[in-house]
Structure 1
Amino acid sequence: MRNEISLTRKSHFLGTKIRNLRKRNHLTMEDLSARCVRLDSENAPSVSYLSMIERGKRTPSVDMLRVIAAVFQKELDWFLDDTPSDEAIVPQKGRRGGLDGMVLEPGFLFSGDILQIAIPEMLSQTGTSGRQFAQLLIRAYQEYHQNHFPDLERAAEDIGNKQLALSVEELVRLAEAQGLKIRWFSEAPKTVIDAHGISGQRVITSYLEGPGKLALNEILKTSPTRMKYDLGVHIGHCVLHNSDGYNNVLSIGSASAADAAPIQSGSVNAQDILQAWREFEASFFAGALLCPKVPFRQLLDRQGYEVGVHKLAQVSPSVAMRRMTVVSPYPHWHYFDAYAPGKLKAVYRGNGIPLPWGNMRTVADPCQHWSVFRMITEPKDGSAAQISLLDTENQTRIYCCESVRVRDLAGNNRVLCAGIDLNPAIEAQGEDAAELAASLKQVCVANGGEVDIPAPIKRKLHTISRILNINWLERGLQQQARLICARGAVCPRSPSCYDGCKGGKADD
């Protein structure tokens, strides 16, 4: 009896460990139950009982656990709470798209009922609005699925017939085919202050003012690419949601309509989350309509993934760069859309790159060695390619990005950045990516944080650039490699860039 009580008090991670072991060994619950029966039919778990064990609804007896342990050749103590490593309890699904998941164990503390109470309280205490939380949920969902939403792609392709470089006139006809009647209104950009006290210019570009009535701002006539995007979003909402409950207002600026409103309590409204999700779906649809997957991938391949491909596709640079992360056969991309002084309006991290600063908070001094931030403070014409080294998960990774400075319709300067994680590509060629990155970091540190890439490493990365067919990777190799940090970690440079950074002070 004492052993049974002791097991119950030390079995909070047991179900998750068994589930992960089973999946890592490619066993179904039927397989595992059958294996246990062959070892000890009297103490073997049935499939239904095994399911309850994995979900934390039941605790096996000591004898039953011994049978399961024998299948996986583990000691009995391994299954108890004193786990030898985090990997033992981290579900595989918590590591999708290169992103780290959080271990929601012990299960009884992370039950749905408890989370329904705890999450609103957490949002209230941190000053996070329900809408901001919804955006975080959607971004996590997007990154978990590595930006792949085939149902949205198909819906857009059915409407646009996979035609690349649709004209404004063609998009107007598609909008009218969805029952939308267009009227024009005139509104100039206005100065607004977001929830963080940051001043910026914002202009409303379009909105649905009622069933079948689409209002477009005259200012869109000066930017056909933005007009096409707005039309694509509204067409997407008609196709995907039949315009039900649609009250989204499309705007441009460093402070959106949602940002400009004061942060309310942290209550999470299910309808608000659904609305935010519909906005994401319609935006993704617009990108897929304007840059259909196959023809846009072929165009990118012919142009070596140059950002200037947006001119050939007749879309904005932001649409083209976001679609790169979707259609490329190489999955390890990231994308940032940044406004001065320190605001990220859009983020995608399919490779798990740490956020340089939050998109719900603004910092005045982000790491200026990131290309996207340097271009905000040091304007540069054209685009800029950069090889960067960033420590993440106790390992140095090599990234390459291409950043471009643009001015939006509201008159704000923005920097768009698309980048890739090179470590997987290096490993695919049989090289030790961790060792190569560590050696490049070593010479960077020895030279104050920036260095011309040594010839042997440059040759290897040049080979990768040819295989991936990304021209700006080759250009990045001609520049100095730079050490960058996520502003919350220890600065890798010596001397460190920020006061307090050397001691690991977290600023974000």
Structure 2
Amino acid sequence: MKPNKSLIRKAHFLGTKIRNLRKRNRLTMEDLSARCIKVNADMAPSVSYLSMIERGKRVPSEEVLEIIAEVFQKDLNWFLDDVPEEAAITPNKGSRGGISGMALEPNFLFSNEILQIAIPEMLSQAGITGRQFAHLLIRAHQEHHQNHFPDLERSAEEVGQKRLPLSVDDLLDITRHMGLSIKWFNKAPATVTDGMGMDTNSVVTSFFEPPNQIYINQLMKSQPQRLKYDLAVHIGHCVLHDKDGLKNVMVAGRNEVVPLPDGNQLNSSSVVEAQDILQAWRDFECSFFAGALLCPKVPFRQMLDRHGYEISTGKLSGVSESVAMRRMTAVSPYPHWHYFDAYAPGKLKAVYRGNGIPLPWGNMRMVEDPCQHWAVFRMINAPLQGTSSQISILNVGDEPRIYSCESIKVEDMAGNKHVLCAGIDLNPAIEAQGKDALSLATDLKQACVGSGGSANIPPSVKKDLMSVAKILNISWVERGIDNPARLICSRGAVCPREPSCYSGATLR
């Protein structure tokens, strides 16, 4: 359908507005076209047509413009000349978000000599080992880059050819093509488990022995999702590290540990050895590679977009909830994600914070009294089925921020129940639409404080949040808006607030 003449006369800046709005929301042309198809498959513009609209080569019909307006939750007239373009939709080419640092003086305190003396003492007082500190360094690197590792993505795509889903047979074919052999075992040999500090909460699922042998636990035959992940990790080890002499051991359970190459127990000292850094980096590389192989970026992103980022999308991809949720944080055009994997009573086994959300406590050690308003801990002992969506308010510095998350309780191969939680920081999304995120967060915080820590979202706040949820195209954000919002903090049950948010709050 052709555009009417009235629309043509008012459309001089329409393309610029659409382009800036699309970039402000970090959508590609393909993303925007897919979103339009969800609104109206028959009238949705193609990628090439959107490109011509943005470059001013075409003026869309009113019907097409209405579809685009629906995607961005804007009134149709907003795109026309008589509505000035807001400065807030101009693409921000500055910081990519996450945790940003600042220059500190005096810089001599950061000399190698001072750090070599101070770090072991710091780790000793913090109660973590050099190996754990190495993993913290890797996580900080991951968060700084907001899960953007194109070299690892490309390596995985070359192996898997961007196929989605990959079956167990597909992965076995890849291992055979790489010259790898598979053997099955009922019980891991002592040479593998000795010195690992394993207990009944853990089970060895697989291990690689150079130069080309993968050993897999028989239990994995009934766990195809975990089997595929282990195979993908070992394929990654062989591709990225050329089947070197490092024995790669995969363990399921709350106390996942990996031995050093000589088979000795992990070094419990606070000295950061070079081997600690190497093994931590390889753990990360192989895990990221496995996710990229099983859920290639573009196909998985398109699948998530079609299904509103539901956790159940993982089933369509043939992967576990954990893999699906971790890949969401890497493939989504929206960068402000976090991911937690929590075991009872208060242990975070895995953490990702691309949005800089504070941890639920001061360090990574287990705590007995984590704040039970955090969904990831509230669900651990709750008799819930399926997933749970929540809107939360958390002070970061002196300012409240609005977070949304989706949590699900799962069970690992060792029989341990744990909770997976993926979430986003909504403040940047609110600001991207020209709204006052701080004002909305303050209003929501006051509502929660007035109701003892949890309250229904006020209608005025709810309207703006629902608009942002539709733009983000994340279904569980919309569901969370219909539930009571909760105050959360990085302290445990001894709440630091005055008055305490626990006074009168109902923990459900």
**Corresponding letter in the other structure for 1:267:** V
| 1:346 equivalent in alignment to 2:350 | yes
Q: How many residue pairs end up in the alignment?
A: 401
**CA 1:96/1:426 → structure 2, altered by over 3 Å: closer, same or farther?**
closer
1:273 pairs with one of 268, 273, 277: 277
Paired position in structure 2 for 1:465: 469
**What is the 5 A alignment of 1:6-45?**
none
Q: TM-score, normalised by structure 1?
A: 0.75
**Corresponding letter in the other structure for 2:101:** G
Paired position in structure 2 for 1:412: 416
Using the alignment, how far apart are the partners of 1:398 and 1:291 within structure 2?
29
**CA 1:344/1:358 → structure 2, altered by over 3 Å: closer, same or farther?**
farther
Using the alignment, how far apart are the partners of 2:96 and 2:137 within structure 1?
15
Task: Work out whether residues 171 and 232 of structure 1, in 8 Å CA contact, stay in contact via their aligned partners in 2.
Answer: yes
Deviation at 1:103, TM superposition (A): 5.0
SS at match of 1:420: strand
The structure with the largest alpha-carbon Rg is 1
| 1:282 equivalent in alignment to 2:322 | no
**CA 1:108/1:396 → structure 2, altered by over 3 Å: closer, same or farther?**
same
Deviation at 1:263, TM superposition (A): 6.1
Cα displacement string for residues 25-56 of structure 1 (whole angstroms, at most 9, x for unaligned residues): xxxxxxxxxxxxxxxxxxxxxxxxxxxxxxxx
SS at match of 1:113: helix
Task: Work out whether residues 407 and 422 of structure 2, in 8 Å CA contact, stay in contact via their aligned partners in 1.
Answer: yes
**CA 1:493/1:457 → structure 2, altered by over 3 Å: closer, same or farther?**
farther
SS at match of 1:268: coil
Deviation at 1:493, TM superposition (A): 6.5
Q: TM-score, normalised by structure 2?
A: 0.75
Paired position in structure 1 for 2:147: 147
**CA 1:183/1:301 → structure 2, altered by over 3 Å: closer, same or farther?**
same
2:499 pairs with one of 494, 497, 506: 494
**Corresponding letter in the other structure for 1:495:** S
Using the alignment, how far apart are the partners of 1:129 and 1:248 within structure 2?
20
**What is the 5 A alignment of 1:348-387?**
348-357=352-361, 360-387=364-391
| 1:247 equivalent in alignment to 2:253 | no
**What is the 5 A alignment of 1:59-70?**
none
Worse-matched range after superposition: 268-277 or 469-478: 268-277
Using the alignment, how far apart are the partners of 2:203 and 2:415 within structure 1?
9
Using the alignment, how far apart are the partners of 1:220 and 1:126 within structure 2?
37
Task: Work out whether residues 449 and 493 of structure 1, in 8 Å CA contact, stay in contact via their aligned partners in 2.
Answer: no
Deviation at 1:177, TM superposition (A): 1.7
Unaligned runs of 5+ in 2: 1-94, 504-508
Task: Work out whether residues 407 and 420 of structure 2, in 8 Å CA contact, stay in contact via their aligned partners in 1.
Answer: yes
Deviation at 1:114, TM superposition (A): 1.8
Cα displacement string for residues 268-324 of structure 1 (whole angstroms, at most 9, x for unaligned residues): 111221121011101100000000000000000000000000110000000000000
Paired position in structure 2 for 1:135: 135
Structure with the larger RCO, 1 or 2 (CA within 8 Å, 6+ apart) = 2
| 1:390 equivalent in alignment to 2:390 | no
Paired position in structure 1 for 2:84: none
Cα displacement string for residues 377-397 of structure 1 (whole angstroms, at most 9, x for unaligned residues): 213000000000000111000
**What is the 5 A alignment of 1:319-330?**
319-330=323-334
Using the alignment, how far apart are the partners of 2:181 and 2:363 within structure 1?
35
Paired position in structure 2 for 1:475: 479
**Corresponding letter in the other structure for 1:288:** A
SS at match of 1:437: helix
**CA 1:200/1:392 → structure 2, altered by over 3 Å: closer, same or farther?**
farther
Deviation at 1:490, TM superposition (A): 6.2
Paired position in structure 1 for 2:210: 210
Deviation at 1:201, TM superposition (A): 1.2
2:451 pairs with one of 435, 447, 468: 447
